[in-house]
Amino acid sequence: QVQLVESGGGLVQAGGSLRLSCVASGSIFSINAWAWYRQAPGKQRELVAFITRGGSINYADSVKGRFTIPRDNAKNTVYLEMNSLKPEDTGVYYCNADTTSREYWGQGTQVTVSS
């Protein structure tokens, strides 16, 4: 079992920055990849960024150059650093951990970007 707890969401003006955190506990060793997803009102959940155990990283085209996904293995934490935020980045952001047997989700944290 893996438990994920996100934090760091909030309200920010367009052009601003936020850093989300996702702390994992439980069977950390079983995690093959971490990811951040988001879901805007009325839209499907979409992948924002992921980082594999080996350190491979990929970003959605919509956030490339603005978001990064650093990881702190000592703290069992993955971050989503968001810069140059736009109103279309508004949504609930979810942390995801993919293991061999299943994937796990955090409870989500709201990010609202005002214009």
Each of the 115 residues of the chain gets a pLDDT tens digit; together they read 999 999 999 999 999 999 999 999 998 899 999 999 999 999 999 999 999 999 999 999 999 999 999 999 999 999 999 999 999 999 999 999 999 899 999 999 999 999 9
Q: How far apart are CA 32 and CA 108, in angstroms?
A: 20
pLDDT of residue 78: 98
By CB neighbour count within 10 A (0-12 exposed, 13-18 middle, 19+ buried), where does 24 fall? Answer: buried
Q: What are phi and psi of 74, to 5 degrees?
A: -65, -30
pLDDT of residue 13: 98
pLDDT of residue 80: 98
Please give the structure tokens belonging to residue 53: 């155990």
The residue type found at 74 is A
Among 47, 58, 21, 51, smallest CA distance to 34 is for 51
Q: How far apart are CA 78 and CA 86, in angstroms?
A: 22
pLDDT of residue 59: 98
First-last CA distance in the chain: 40
Q: How far apart are CA 79 and CA 81, in angstroms?
A: 6
